[in-house]
Structure formats: structure tokens, C-alpha cells
Amino acid sequence: MMKTVTDPLTVANQLRPVLLKLSRQLRQEVHARGVTAGEVTLLVEIASHPGIGICDLAEREGVSSPRISKAVQKLLVDGLVYRHQSTPEDRRRVGVDITQRGRQVLDSVRRRRTAWLTERLHGLSPDELEALEAAIAPLAKLLEAAE
């Protein structure tokens, strides 16, 4: 039997609402830690790029520097990040790094999200789990294309 080729538009229309709902559910797991999904996104970015400057962070997030400055200021007040001089040569450039408390928040968020997802995956059949596992690489490829 010949396999039919699936239309990308059909797949997109079926996949989009599922991914949006899944993303929404995972974002809700963040609120139990007293942070927003946007703050977690910034913490991940800062943890991945120690010493990142405000302008670079704004560019990576696709928002204005003033908006990122305001968000980083809240993270500073909450004790999740700290500022420091990026290099001794240029004392004007200030970088941002994540604090130990910020790392604890990120770890907690990851654990909660993983636990939530694991609980739901236990309800799937072995074939369904295998199908999801097979979809991971193509989904990751979609994200790489967007970067």
C-alpha cells in the first residue's frame, strides 16, 4: 500500500492549535513559582549567555531595549539576576547574570513542567509514545529553521 503525502497546510492547521494549547499548559506550570513565562524566558536566555548586555538581550528577544531593561529590573529586584561590569576594559558595558536563586527558580520550573508532561505521557499507549518520540526531531528542525 502506497503512503499518501500529507499536505503541509493540513498538518499546520491540525498542529498549530495542539502546540498552542500545550504551550499554554506548560506556561501555567510557571506561575506556581511566582514568576511569569516571560520572566522564565529571560532567565533561560541570561543563564545561556552569562554576562549578556541589555541591547543583546533585547535583540535576541525581539523587543526594545527599554522594555527589556524594565523586565530585567524586576528580575533584579526579585533577586533572580545581578548586573556587573562586562569587561575591565569597558566599564560602561554592563552585563547580566543569573543568581543562585534564579537558577533554583529555573530548575523548579523545569521540574514542574517535566512532571506535568510526564504525567500526561503515562496515559498514552506505547505506539503513541513512539509516534511522539519520532516527531521530536522534525519539530526541533522547524524551530532551527526559525532561528
Cα–Cα–Cα angle for 30, 32, 38, rounded to 5 degrees: 30
Neighbours of 58 (CB within 10 A): 19
How sure is the predictor about 143, in pLDDT bands with cuts at 50, 70 and 90? confident
Instruction: Say if CB 54 and CB 96 are below 8 A apart.
Output: yes
Per the rule left: phi > 0, alpha: psi between -120 and 50, beta: everything else, 101 is alpha
Residue 132: predicted pLDDT: 95
Task: Specify whether domain 31-146 bears CATH 1.10.10.10.
Answer: yes
Instruction: Say if CB 47 and CB 103 are below 8 A apart.
Output: yes
What stretches of 5-130 adopt beta strand conformation (E)? 52-53, 81-85, 94-98
Tens digit of pLDDT for each residue in 20-36?
999 999 888 887 678 89
Q: Rounded to whole angstroms, what are the CA distances from 38 to 8, 30, 31, 50?
A: 30, 10, 11, 18
Q: Residue 127 and residue 70: Cα distance in Å, rounded? A: 47
Q: Which helix (H) or strand (E) holds 129?
A: helix 126-146
Q: What are phi and psi of 86, to 5 degrees?
A: -70, -45
Tens digit of pLDDT for each residue in 57-78?
999 999 999 999 999 999 999 9
How sure is the predictor about 147, in pLDDT bands with cuts at 50, 70 and 90? low
Identity of residue 47: A
